[in-house]
Amino acid sequence: MKKHLRIFLACLCALLCCALLAGCTLTLPGAQPQSSTAPTAQQSSLVAFSSLAQNISEAGYYNILYTGDAEHTIYLLSLYDFSEMQHRVLCEKEGCTHTDETCDAYLQASTLVARPGALYTICPRYFTDPADESGLADFVAMDENGQNRHTLSTISDNWTFTGADEQYLYGFCEDAFGRISLSDGTETYLLRNAREKFLFWGKIAGVWDGQFVTVYWGDATRAEGVEIGLLSPEGVYTLLGTVPQDSFLSYSGSVLIGDTLYYIDSSNGTVMSFTLDTGETHEVSTALCQYDRDEGQGFHSCQRWYLSTANNALLAMVYGADETSGDIWKESLYHIDISTGATSPLSLKQEYRNKSSEAEMADGPGWGEPSFVTPLAETQQGLFVVSAYEFYMDSYLDENGQKVEYETSRPVYALISAEDYLASTPNYQEFKNLPVPT
Ligand SMILES: [Zn+2]
């Protein structure tokens, strides 16, 4: 019996959007924060997660594949394998067709965290028992191939992870900043009233000097400056300085490179810097200001821009009027030279493969246009990106049992060196996808 294999792209799209907005950065295990003031005794393995980074280790990118049919969803642990450069279901059961719960890879988890040689997951009880209201979950560890699963502890199902070191996962649970031990799964709350501040109305921008770098812009009523600070792995918060609230773009408008937080001045599109060890701000580049438009009522087009990084290069996605084409929301991607402030346009765009001409017509002019390739994560093997989308026909049975065909697509992930990426040279190493569902 063959079941329709169906990939639910909505989840993936949401994930990708988050990654784009967050300007995803993966700091590799063993990488040390750049600081001239850090004594050697304070060297730590602390890394911050941003979006897809928590699902990536040196083994590859882990995700949950949703298959099955309308009545019965099958959740399979899968890996975009960096050594084989292919997507595979993490099942070692001989003769398995990966179509039901008996598959080795079957996993109902809300969260995956990939660490060197291991994978940790949160499996909420309500996933297996919809009536369960305990708010509890199993904290499950396994090896990098998804084998040897064992439950370490029972924890809250409410955790959002923001980083890790060799001993702990760090993140937010209930109202607190806390950690979970990787050896025995013990959960510890370290700082109360931190979730609102550093998750809802702020973010963790990265790691510097063995501590998380935090940005807190506050809720809509907040009038004071944006706080930039440090949150230690022990839960101690230190304020480093403030930036005027009206010139700071929250969420997507700031990224950390080394010891400097770069941000867009939302009043005019200037790229600014905040140096962590001195607390000083400087103007980095005004080259993009020409694309900013005042939308009236104090709204600027630069408030939709976002910053990201490609290794140590600063990137800005810019939306603004283009006089040549007349497009008032033209998307452009730039590399900003942080030493000179000069900008250079990047041109790699995602390729659409096998998209039917009917679908192209249905999209209408200006819609469904391929987007720029942007780094989803930085790995030792290169930048992790979506280089293309593969289009194919899928189908489902409607309420009358009639087969309805529709065109859908799935991403083609790839690795590319930062040098090739910044030179807009499409020298991709693509991951081979699983066979198209039949
Ligand atoms: Zn299987």
Please state the domain extents for the chain.
Answer: 9-217+348-430, 244-346
- Nearby residues of 35 by Cβ (< 8 Å), 6 or more positions away: 208, 209, 259, 277
Q: In what order do the strands lie in the sheet with 86-89?
A: 56-57, 60-68, 73-81, 86-89
How many A from CA of 148 to the centre of ligand 1? Answer: 15
Looking at the chain, how many residues does it have?
438
Q: Which residues pair with 319 in a beta bridge?
A: 331
CA gap 264, 307 in Å, rounded = 8
Q: Cα torsion at 243, 249, 251, 257 (round to 10°)?
A: -60
Query: Cβ of 325: how many Cβ atoms within 10 Å?
Result: 9
Backbone angles phi, psi at 80, to 5 degrees: -85, 100
164 token code pair: 């890790």
Average pLDDT over residues 352-367: 68
Q: Is the pLDDT of residue 363 over 80?
A: no
pLDDT of residue 35: 43
Which residue did the predictor score with more confidence, 17 or 343?
Answer: 343
SS3 category, 34: coil
% residues pLDDT > 70 (the chain): 86
Report which listed range, 41-45, 69-73, 227-231, is most confident.
Answer: 227-231
Banded pLDDT at 361 (limits 50, 70, 90): low
Q: Report the separation in Å between the CA atom of 192 and the middle of ligand 1, taken as the mean of its atom positions.
A: 43
CA dist list (Å): 210 to 40, 171, 205, 328, 374: 11, 15, 13, 43, 28
Residue 433 has pLDDT above 80, yes or no: yes
Q: What angle do CA 136, 139, 144 make, to 5 degrees?
A: 155
Q: How far is the CA of 76 from the centre of ligand 1 (A)?
A: 8
Distance in Å, CA 117 to ligand 1 centroid? 21
By the 10 Å C-beta count (0-12 exposed, 13-18 middle, 19+ buried), 44 is classed as middle
d(CA 230, CA 214): 6
Find out whether 171 and 162 touch, Cβ atoms under 8 Å. Answer: yes
- Kindly list the protein residues that place their beta carbon closer than 5 angstroms to ligand 1, a single-atom ion: 91, 96, 98, 103-104
Residue pointed to by tokens 């403030």: 242
pLDDT at 328: 73
Overall average pLDDT of the 290-318 stretch? 87
pLDDT of residue 57: 96
Instruction: Look at the alpha carbons of 418, 420, 424, 428 in this order and tell me if their dihedral is positive or negative.
Output: negative
Cβ atoms of 395 and 4 closer than 8 Å: yes
- Give the distance (Å) from ligand 1 centre to CA of residue 123: 19
CA of 102 to the centre of ligand 1 (A): 7
pLDDT for res 278? 96
Alpha-carbon distance of 257 to 399, in angstroms, equals 53
pLDDT at 219 over 80: no
Q: Quick check: 270 and 202 in contact, CB under 8 A?
A: no
Comparing CA positions, the residue from 415, 422, 420 lying closest to residue 83 is 415
430's tokens: 């693509």
Give distance in angstroms: CA of 90 to centre of ligand 1: 7
pLDDT value, residue 366: 52
Span from the CA of 73 to the centroid of ligand 1 (angstroms): 15
69 C-alpha to ligand 1 centroid (Å)? 17
Could you tell me which residue, 223 or 414, shows the higher pLDDT?
414
pLDDT in tens, 277-297: 999 999 999 999 988 887 776
